[in-house]
Amino acid sequence: MAKQLNCSDVGFDCSAQINADTEEEVMAQASEHARSVHGMSDSDLQEHEGAIRGAIRDV
């Protein structure tokens, strides 16, 4: 089963969708996306990690 994350489910007005084989890979890609597109810092990411993980779905 693969993992999917819609950026909009984390609360951003953003149509980005991340697909990966594992939750860790989704988190890695989501972190990169959040930094580069949404300007989030490492501390922002730590603060939102639970919400991001909670938005990951099995597909």
Residue numbers of the site for Zn ion (CB under 5 A)? 7, 12, 14, 16, 37
Say which amino acid occupies 18: I
In the bound state with Zn ion, the residue whose beta carbon lies nearer, of 1 and 13, is 13
Does residue 20 sit in helix, strand or coil?
strand
Say which amino acid occupies 28: A
CA distance 27 to 45: 10
CB of 13 to Zn ion, least distance (A): 8
In the bound state with Zn ion, the residue whose beta carbon lies nearer, of 1 and 29, is 29
In the bound state with Zn ion, the residue whose beta carbon lies nearer, of 16 and 45, is 16
